[in-house]
Amino acid sequence: MKFTLFLISALFVSNVSYAAVDPEVAYIFNTFLFIFSGILVMFMALGFAMLEAGFVRKKNTSAILLKNIALYSIAGISFYLVGYSLMYVDVGSYIGSLGGMFYNPTVDELALLDGADNVAAIADTGYSAPSDWFFQMVFCATAVSIVSGACAERIKVWPFLIFAVIMTGLIYPIFGAWTWGGGWLAEMGFSDFAGSTIVHSVGGWAALVGCIILGARKGKYAADGSVTPIAGANMPLATLGTFILWFGWFGFNGGSQLAMGSAFDVLAISIVVVNTNLAACGGVVVAVILSQIMFKKIDLTIALNGAIAGLVAITAGPDLQNHFTSIVVGGIGGALTTFAILLLDKLKIDDVVGAIPAHLVAGIWGTLAVGIFGGGDFFVQLTGVLAAAILVVPLSAIFFYILKGTVGLRVSEEEEAMGLDKAELTGEAYPEFK
């Protein structure tokens, strides 16, 4: 993203055909966009927490909430320590350096705070370095949130948190370096506006690997192939979480315009916001209609997944200039996600919240859609999709197996029956409702 911003600012500094905005004013607006959008994306962490708390059973509520607040905090620290550096600092083709560890404001920025007269030099950088760091960090956290929901109700807390360190400090930053960091995929022309692949598929692949290695929750799949659904405890929370994610997504996609210091950028952000909203609407409507047709009744949880699917699908290319196209992209995302939910049950892959259908499947679709409806080259887009799989699947498998072989990945059958709240935490989420 940073890479793109340099291109955009270069373009407009040299090609101004309207009254130019003062560089300091542009700096203020760009920085404001990063901070404001980053705060919206941070709120998505709560969205994931509520969605997941709604989809799990009552006895695993505290555990899933703990995983969510801990993973967000781990993401922040490990992205600060190494993640950002590996993703953005001196990226060659494949990985950045460790030169940007312990990320801090730039020397010039610190000088300005000390009273130096270097506003012009600072303003020319386009935005403040900490605002950019913050915006990138909240994206990193999103990728791990996807894993926690899929693997819920049976993964042990500590091994999951160790995996969160690896995901945010290594796996996500490497793929990020290939793309937004300016590495080989970016040079090929791979186009992923706000991260259908970079955030959502990367998280989705890790979730898929985690679910396969963990195995299904006890009692869900019988030997004769029948499925015993394990219904989520709290649909109001699941719905609240979905709406919060939808809300935060305006920052996720809107902020990924990366600049707000010109009429051009503000217009582009407006288009992105409209498309983001329409795609989610399309995802929900298609999921509702499909579940009515296939099951003769509407399934709320699939409607909720449909919203996420529409949002994920449009994330690779929310800058489409014809709004109608985004309804199509989101709607197809909703349909693919609905089919993927059924397919996963056939494969006996137990994804508690539908993260794999909504983030991985819709993420792949959205990335390819840029090669169909947007400005991307289809085969380059496909290369990016495959590259994510080739990087994330083996890496996360290695780390999940190491955890499984050392500290163990899954709680015992007894603990699973008791619930993780009692087995691993000091108490249940609703101790007075017996």
Partner 1 sequence: MKLVTAIIKPDKVEALRKSLTGIDIQGLTILEAKGYGRQKGHTEMYRGAEYEVHFLPKSRAEVLVDDKDLEKVITTISEAVKTGKIGDGKIFITEVSDIIRIRTGERGAEAIS
Site of interaction with partner 1 (CB under 8 A): 227-231, 291, 294-295, 297, 299, 301-302, 341-342, 345, 354
Shorter beta-carbon distance to partner 1: residue 119 or 342: 342
Quick count: other Cβ atoms within 10 Å of Cβ 97? Answer: 14
Cα–Cα separations (whole angstroms), residue 362 to 162, 186, 398: 27, 21, 25
The residues facing 410 across adjacent strands are 155
Minimum CB distance to partner 1, residue 333 (Å): 17
Residue 92 C-beta: closest distance to partner 1, Å: 44
Q: Which is nearer to partner 1, 77 or 227 (CB)?
A: 227
Element (H, E) at 285: helix 263-295
Q: Which CB sits closer to partner 1, 129 or 302?
A: 302
- Nearest distance from C-beta of residue 302 to partner 1, angstroms: 6
d(CA 408, CA 421): 18
Residue 229 and residue 22: Cα distance in Å, rounded?
A: 59
Q: Cβ of residue 285: shortest distance to partner 1, in angstroms?
A: 18
Comparing CB distances to partner 1, the nearer of 318 and 354 is: 354
Minimum distance, C-beta of residue 219 to partner 1, in the bound complex (Å): 11
Radius of gyration of the chain from Cα atoms?
A: 21
Q: Which is nearer to partner 1, 201 or 291 (CB)?
A: 291
Consecutive H or E run containing 323: helix 323-346
Query: Taking the complex as a whole, how short is the minimal distance between the CB of residue 61 and partner 1, in angstroms?
Result: 18
Q: Reduce the DSSP state of residue 373 to 3 states and report it.
A: coil
What is the Cα–Cα distance from 242 to 51, expressed in whole angstroms?
6
Q: Write the CB contacts of 406 (distance below 8 Å, at least 6 apart in sequence).
A: none
**Closer of 295 and 378 to partner 1 (Cβ):** 295
| Least Å from the CB of residue 229 to partner 1 | 4
Q: For partner 1, which is the closer residue by CB, 220 or 410?
A: 220
Cα–Cα dist 54/209, whole Å: 23
Nearer to partner 1, 182 or 357 (CB): 357
CA angle 400, 405, 408 (to 5 degrees): 75
Residue 289 Cβ, how far from partner 1 at the closest point, in Å? 14
Nearest to 82 by CA among 1, 167, 10: 167
Instruction: Give 218 or 323: the residue with its C-beta nearer to partner 1.
Output: 218
Our CB check for partner 1 shows the closer of 348 and 422 to be: 348
* Amino acid found at 224: D
Q: Whole-number minimum distance, CB 169 to partner 1, in Å?
A: 34
Nearest to 178 by CA among 146, 201, 155, 147: 201
Smallest distance from the beta carbon of 231 to partner 1, in angstroms? 5
DSSP letter for each residue of 116-180: -S-HHHHHHTSS-HHHHHHHHHHHHHHHHHHHHHHTTTTB-HHHHHHHHHHIIIIIHHHHHHHTT
172 and 140 Cβ atoms separated by less than 8 Å:
yes
DSSP β-bridge partners for residue 221: 227
Q: Determine the Cα angle at 344 with ends 342 and 347, to 5°.
A: 115
